[in-house]
Amino acid sequence: MAEDLSSLQHVRGLVKWFDPAKGYGFIVCPDNGPDILLHVNVLRNFGQSSIADGAGIEVVTHRTDRGVQAVEIVSITPPEREDTPVLSDLAQLDDEEISNTPLEPARVKWFDKAKGFGFANVFGRDEDVFLHVEVLRQSGLSDVQSGEALAMRVIEGKRGRMAVDVLAWEAASSDVDYID
């Protein structure tokens, strides 16, 4: 049976909340429409396993008997960065300096959302890279899992290497600009 394409609609909104453990969350519609269900499988199809509360999101939606749900993610915009960085190591960095730092492929060693931090390993390097929950949030993610592949911008912090920007591997590989 063919899908009724007339019920598909592009919508921009903000992530109200998303719980990776539950496997779903909701998007707030800007026009005061009903909240939109965001299932983890739709997020995974975009290449992420989590998304930060307050992130901007553009989705294709479908109306069902049970409400409106996202069927495809078009784009995700991280929440606005705080004026005052949470980590003192980031206080002297500006957005341009961060965006000019090269992305490095990495894998999550461990991350504990309750503690607010964890570590990753950059491929081909021995030392750990510190991951702070606030850096994840400002990168548009809310959580990462052990073994998850990431692309990170890393600086030398006061206590060692630390991530200043984090992208899901799939999202990073589709956004990479190649230089001729």
Q: What are phi and psi of 80, to 5 degrees?
A: -60, 140
Q: Residue 177 has what pLDDT?
A: 44
- Is residue 48 within 8 A of residue 76, CB to CB? The reply is yes
pLDDT at 173 (0 to 100): 64
Mean pLDDT per block of 10 residues along the chain (180 residues) reads 64 91 90 90 88 91 91 88 56 69 92 92 91 87 88 87 85 50
pLDDT of residue 91: 56
> Residue 151: helix, strand or coil by DSSP?
strand
Whole-model pTM over 0.85: no
Tell me what pLDDT residue 174 has: 59
Are 38 and 142 a contacting pair, CB within 8 Å?
no
Distance CA 144, CA 133 (A): 9
Q: Among candidates 161, 90, 77, 176, which has minimal Cα distance to 121? A: 161
pLDDT of residue 8: 82
Q: Which domains are present in the chain?
A: 5-77 (2.40.50.140), 88-175 (2.40.50.140)
